[in-house]
Amino acid sequence: MEFKRAADGEKGFEKVFAFLRERLLTGSLRPGDRLISERELATLLGVSRPIVREALRALTVLGIVEIRDRIGTVVTRPDVSVLNDFFTFALAQQADMLEDVMQARVAIECQAIRLACERANIADFERLQRALTKIGETIDEADAGGMADFDFHRAIVVASHSETLSVLHASMAGLLTHSHRSRRELVQAFPSMKTYLVDDHRRIFEALIARDPERADATLRKHFAIGDEYRRRAVVGDIDKTSASG
Amino acid sequence: MEFKRAADGEKGFEKVFAFLRERLLTGSLRPGDRLISERELATLLGVSRPIVREALRALTVLGIVEIRDRIGTVVTRPDVSVLNDFFTFALAQQADMLEDVMQARVAIECQAIRLACERANIADFERLQRALTKIGETIDEADAGGMADFDFHRAIVVASHSETLSVLHASMAGLLTHSHRSRRELVQAFPSMKTYLVDDHRRIFEALIARDPERADATLRKHFAIGDEYRRRAVVGDIDKTSASG
DNA sequence: GTCTGATCGTGGTCAGACCAGTATGCTTAC
DNA sequence: GTAAGCATACTGGTCTGACCACGATCAGAC
């Protein structure tokens, strides 16, 4: 073990990472398990501790593992934050990606609502109902209104009972949060938007209750399309006349 | 710099990571840029080199940065592999996630085909045409057939000209590759599947050419549904009688 | 039995060193 | 003057051995 020459062919980091990867993928290491200490791992694989730490840190940012100070390293259940990080970086370097991410969000939600039509239970309906009520109540507030809107859409995804869809949606929603908010500020400029917001969400809710996937999907899609339309009109300055009151 | 006590409040790793994160998010560091050397970074932030390496390694697994041996560390364009890694690990620990990931894939593809109806160009159509031809040619081969199938579906996503959808699709497709292959082996057991495969893909292609998003979406969805049905029948052992030849 | 404290193990970090190549510039040969 | 060759100063990749601060554990005091 005194040779840095990895007879295994892999460099230090790769060796450790591959070692742990294999244990994790084959199920030898499951969530909740505690890894052997960094020192043991180092001597076991014939590498130095800093290298082991690199590998553990890599697994940490992937959300696979959690390094607990003075306790040890434990395997965790895969977490969303990774995707969040990734998309945050990715988006930062490609600002034009925003519209693109929105497309992905639409994709996720439309699929989610289809699944939700099959799988939603009473609790899901209640959650949606509450969100719907909230949307009506907060129609005049940009902040609370945006949050209510967000909650409703999230409730749809939750109702799909799909972990993957939830994860993906959560990671995109985070990115779209601010755009969501600024969009909400348009409501004041478009009084007609108020009825659109309330009615549209209600229609989506009804389709969901009716457990009609096609209608739910179509309604949701239309909802997004109308939102886009409002945004377009805002860009070109086509404000509702009736709102000139200010 | 002799104090490990970080006056900045953050621990070593966090300090370096936050430092780089900020540069990356604000655009001070853009893809292609070369970071300063590990040593410089270490003295600059008052930490040791191993810590710097941890941070760089973290960014590497996130696909934000690439460490080139004896050259330096350069900022890269965000890459899919991160998501791939994540889903690989996530799936390994929650096997029941497979069906779930499939749902996400359906979501992505259906949205992609809608966009593709608007955005696809000649090159996209040609790619799809080639894939379609290949599917017909390789109908009797499990391996090549599966690949042709995969290429066709990927071509749909590519035709959407959406980076985000492509990224997501790529990361899921990787996971579903083997299931795709095993599914392909069913073809031999289900002769009726051959016509299904060819015809279905052709119908999808035609809807795309017609630039009819609704029809394309619906056809693609049906395609997936039929695939599921075949799988279900395989599970319960309901094999086509006509294939008893073996 | 309970409380207290020493010890051991853990992650967190550092400093300094060596290796192996790359890149560059300077020297040397033509 | 130009071109080949070599020395040097980088770069990442790694190791060693050490220290710190704190959690856990168990022995000993009460």
Kindly tell me if the per-residue pLDDT of A199 is higher than 50: yes
d(CA A167, CA A169): 5
Comparing alpha-carbon positions, the chain A residue that sits nearest to B101 is A164
- Judge if B171 and B205 occupy the same domain: yes
pLDDT of B52 > 50? The answer is yes
Region label for B5, one of left (φ > 0), alpha (ψ between -120 and 50) or beta (otherwise): beta
A90 SS3 class: helix
CB contact under 8 A, A58 and B58: yes
Between B78 and B157, the higher pLDDT residue: B157
**pLDDT score at B181:** 61
Supply the CATH number for residue A52's domain.
Answer: 1.10.10.10
- Give the largest CA-CA distance in chain A: 81
Supply the pLDDT for residue A180.
62
Q: How confident is the model at residue B83 (pLDDT cuts 50, 70, 90)?
A: confident
What residues have CB less than 8 Å from A34, skipping those under 6 apart?
Answer: A72, A73, A74, A75
Both A18 and A64 in a single domain? yes
Instruction: Provide the angle, in degrees to the nearest 10, between the axes of the packed helices B191-209 and B213-235.
Output: 170
- Both A31 and A71 in one domain: the answer is yes
pLDDT of B133 strictly over 70 = yes
A89, two tokens: 């970086």
pLDDT of B145: 83
Instruction: Report CA torsion sign: A111, A112, A117, A118.
Output: positive
**Which pLDDT does position B1 carry in this prediction?**
39
Residues A31 and A102 in one domain: no
Mutate to test the interface with B, among A13, A17, A86, A105 (most CBs of B within 10 A): A86
> What pLDDT digit, counting tens, does each position of A139-197 carry?
888 778 888 888 999 999 999 999 889 888 887 877 776 666 666 666 667 777 788 88
- Domain assignment present for residue A25? The answer is yes
Nearest protein residue to nucleotide C23 (CA to C1' distance) is B71
Take residue A97 and report the two structure tokens written for it: 């990606």
In this prediction, residue B95 has a pLDDT band, given cuts at 50, 70 and 90, of low
Residue of B88, B93, B107 lying closest to A77 (CB–CB): B93
Based on the domain organization, do B45 and B31 belong to the same domain? yes
Region B108-134: mean pLDDT is 96
CB atoms near residue A118 (< 10 Å): 11
Taking the C-alpha atoms of residue A48 and residue A11, their distance in angstroms, rounded to an integer, is 12
The pLDDT tens digits for A94-130 are 766 778 888 999 999 999 999 999 999 999 999 999 9
The residue from B75, B99, B127 where one domain ends is B75
A74 Cβ under 8 Å from any chain B Cβ:
no
Given B45, B75, B105, the domain boundary residue is B75
- Residue B26, pLDDT score: 83
Tell whether B90 and B196 lie within a shared domain. yes
Shared domain check, B118 and B30:
no
Q: Three-state SS across chain B? A: CCCCCCCCCCCHHHHHHHHHHHHHHHCCCCCCCECCCHHHHHHHHCCCHHHHHHHHHHHHHCCCEEEECCCEEEECCCCCHHHHHHHHHHHHHCCCHHHHHHHHHHHHHHHHHHHHHHHCCHHHHHHHHHHHHHHHHCCCCHHHHHHHHHHHHHHHHHHCCCHHHHHHHHHHHHHHHHHHHHHHCHHHHCHHHHHHHHHHHHHHHHHHHCCCHHHHHHHHHHHHHHHHHHHHHHHCCCCCHHHCCC
Look at residue A203 in the predicted model and tell me its pLDDT.
Answer: 95
Contact B109, B220 (CB under 8 A): yes
- d(CA A199, CA A222) in angstroms, rounded, equals 12
Residue B47, domain member (yes or no): yes
Range of the domain at B210: 81-236
Q: From the Cβ of B70, is strand C under 7 Å away?
A: yes
Q: What are phi and psi of A205, to 5 degrees?
A: -60, -45
In the stretch 132-171 of chain B, residues with CB closer than 8 A to chain A read: 160, 162-165, 167-168
User: Above 70 in pLDDT, residue A245?
Assistant: no
Residue A35 CA to nucleotide C8 C1', Å? 19
CB contact residues (below 8 A), chain B span 43-62, against chain A = 50, 53-54, 57-58, 60-62
Which residue in this structure is represented by tokens 């008052």?
B46
Do residues B199 and B219 share a domain?
A: yes
Domain boundary, last residue among B52, B75, B98: B75
Q: Looking at B16-25, B92-101, B161-170, B221-230, which range is the least confident one? A: B92-101
pLDDT, position B232? 80
Contact call for residues B150 and B173 (beta carbons, < 8 A): yes
Q: How confident is the model at residue A84 (pLDDT cuts 50, 70, 90)?
A: confident
Q: Is the pLDDT of residue B67 over 80?
A: yes
Q: Are residues B99 and B67 in the same domain?
A: no
Q: Please name the residues in contact with B135: beta carbons below 8 A apart, sequence gap of 6 or more.
A: B145, B148, B149, B152, B197, B198, B201
Greater pLDDT, A11 or A240: A11
- Domains held by chain B: number: 2
Determine, yes or no, domain membership for A94: yes
CB contact under 8 A, B93 and A61: no
CATH code at B111?
1.20.120.530
B211 and B170, same domain (yes or no):
yes
Residue A246 lies in a domain: no
A133 and A211 in a single domain? The answer is yes
Q: pLDDT value at position A60?
A: 92
Nearest chain A Cα to B214, which residue?
Answer: A218
Which range scores top for mean pLDDT: A209-223, B18-32, B161-175, B182-196?
A: A209-223
Whole-angstrom distance, CA of residue A197 vs CA of residue A183: 12
Higher-pLDDT residue of B181, B127: B127
Contact A164 B27 (CB under 8 A): no
Rounded to the nearest angstrom, the minimum Cα separation between B36 and chain A is 19
Q: Looking at beta carbons, which residues of chain A come within 8 Å of B110?
A: 107, 110-111
Higher-confidence position of A76 and B94: A76
Q: Is the pLDDT of residue B160 over 90?
A: yes
**What pLDDT score does B190 carry?**
75
The set of residues, in sequence order, having a beta carbon less than 8 Å from that of A156 and lying 6+ positions away, is A109, A112, A113, A116, A128, A204, A208, A220
Average pLDDT over residues B146-159: 92
Render pLDDT for A10-68 as a digit per residue (tens, 0 to 9).
Answer: 778 999 999 999 898 888 888 888 999 999 999 999 999 999 999 999 999 988 899 99
Write out chain A residues lying below 8 Å of B57, CB-based.
Answer: 13, 54, 57-58
Any domain includes A6: no
Check residue B246 and give its pLDDT.
Answer: 35
pLDDT tens for residues B53-63?
A: 999 999 999 88
Residue A52: closest C-alpha in chain B? B54
Whether residue A187 lies inside any domain: the answer is yes
Query: Residue A37, CB, less than 7 Å from strand C?
Result: yes
For residue B68, list its beta bridge partners.
B72
Residue A2 is assigned to a structural domain of this protein: no
Provide, as residue numbers in chain A, all residues whose Cβ is less than 8 Å from the Cβ of B60: 58
Say which DSSP state A225 is in. H
- On whether both A121 and A69 belong to a single domain, the answer is no
**Does the pLDDT at position B91 exceed 90?**
no
